[in-house]
Amino acid sequence: MTVFFDVDGVLIDYNERPRYEAIDLLRAMVACGQNVFVWSGGGKDYAEHWVRKLGLEDLVTAAYAKDPALKPDLAIDDVPGADLGLLGTMIVTFAHD
């Protein structure tokens, strides 16, 4: 299964602090054998920057600019109503912020 994680609001908050719960979810999905990608509306370079900064290079298959044409199986996003994945979109929110 291909799982795409958003950057802003998912892997980092809007103050650029890591969201460790989401990063743990990413690690767990890789451990379960899922094929994990990172994408961002900020573009490919921005997504790659955060993969490196968060130390996820060995876990993430590739980073992309967000493009609905890529159609992941599952998307992890912070925007309610986002329809990005073939199976659907898991919305993660700032329950503790």
76 is an interface residue for Mg ion by CB under 5 A: no
Which residues partner with 63 through β-bridges?
38
Instruction: Please identify, using beta-carbon distances, which residue of 6 and 29 lies nearer to Mg ion.
Output: 6
8 is an interface residue for Mg ion by CB under 5 A: yes
6 is an interface residue for Mg ion by CB under 5 A: yes
- Report how far apart, in Å, the C-alpha atoms of 48 and of each of 14, 51, 56, 72, 81 are: 17, 5, 10, 18, 25
Q: Helix or strand or coil: residue 21?
A: helix
Instruction: Please identify, using beta-carbon distances, which residue of 6 and 23 lies nearer to Mg ion.
Output: 6
| Contacts to Mg ion by CB under 5 A | 6, 8-9, 78
